[in-house]
Structure 1
Amino acid sequence: MKKIPFIALTIDLWLNSRRTHFLAIAAHYYDERMKHSSTVISFRRFHGRHLSYRLNSFIIKEIEKLNIQTKIVAVTTDSGSDIKGATSSNQLGTWYSCDTHNIN
């Protein structure tokens, strides 16, 4: 991802049948040949309460591990107040609501 100038993220948080929470982050970008690519950059268990500041800190740490924080231009999530609050800051570019989540 070193040569990729702009990255959009999708982030989802969910609970499995064993009541374990997970957070996944996918990066979407065009490579040097203008081919669209998507890559899961983080898939981790999330412990504790889903407070916006905790989610934001978790997400920022994952992005900083890859040193891509200055490349993020947009983020798409569901409209839950916790994840929306965690991702609607300017740190992650423009926030977009996932239409598929909104329909359900």
Structure 2
Amino acid sequence: MNKKVQTAIKASAIAMIVVLASGCTSVENRLDQLETKVGLLEQEVATANASAANAAAAQQSAEAAQATADEALAAAAENAACCDATNEKIDRMFQRSQSK
């Protein structure tokens, strides 16, 4: 009977070792999967950061273009006023020459 108990204990110990070993393998697989996912997420974060930087640069370029357009509009309005004043002077000169 003593040998049967020892055999049962040995079988139980072997079974526990097998279960623990398979559990470790499962944990290792999950750890590998998590590391892969973390790597992918890091890449996505880097891509998102690059996109944000590009968007900020585009915003700055758009603001600079708007400032240039505003300056051009102001210059055009100034030139139009100057042209109107010149036309008025010419009209007055023409009217003076016609009235004499």
TM bin (shorter chain): under 0.3
* RCO higher in structure (CA 8 A, sep ≥6): 1
The TM-score with structure 1 as length reference comes to 0.17
Higher percent of residues as strand: 1
Higher percent of residues as helix: 2
The TM-score with structure 2 as length reference comes to 0.17
Higher Rg: 2
